[in-house]
Amino acid sequence: MNKETEKHLDNLVSNMMKEVSLETPSENFEANLMANINKLSVRNALTYKPLISKSTWILLAFCFMTLMGYLILSVTWQDSESVITINFYLLFNNNFTQSFGNLKFSNIFTYAILSLAFMLLIQITFLKNYFDKRLAL
């Protein structure tokens, strides 16, 4: 900028500052501000919320118990060898599982999925350590 423009801007700012008066806060400004800060700090406090809800744990427990019950009821003992044999026919020989039997994946796709899972595991580990350190302060 040249000196004329700078002088013009300086005069403009000076005139504007003369016209504007200083604002003074109200009498209870500090008390009102502190009350608002206290409200915000209480509202934003960290509350514990589990990643897996109780209903999900109940559903997982029900599925696990159902699977265990099926395995226990389908166990047959062979008297001659005293070996447990489990009938997995219903689990693996149905329309749902047979529909996935014809899927073929290329090696590149398999390696990509495995590397993605590995990187995700590493990232979760680093993020957990980061947030544990940050929340410990």
pLDDT along the chain (137 residues), means of 10: 83 82 79 80 66 93 91 67 66 75 86 95 90 79
Q: Domain check: are 69 and 99 in the same one?
A: yes
pTM of the full predicted structure? 0.32
What's the number of domains the chain is made of?
Answer: 2
In the chain, DSSP assigns E strands to: 75-78, 83-86
**Whole-Å CA distances, 93 to 42, 63, 64:** 57, 19, 20
The CA-CA-CA angle for residues 110, 115, 120, to 5°, reads 130
Same-domain status, 68 and 92: yes
How confident is the model at residue 58, as a pLDDT? 96
| Residue 71, Cβ density class (10 Å: 0-12 exposed, 13-18 middle, ≥19 buried) | middle
| Structural domain includes residue 7 | no
Contacts of 117-122 spanning 24+ positions with Cβ under 8 A: none
Does residue 90 sit within a domain?
yes
Structural domain that includes position 80? 52-103
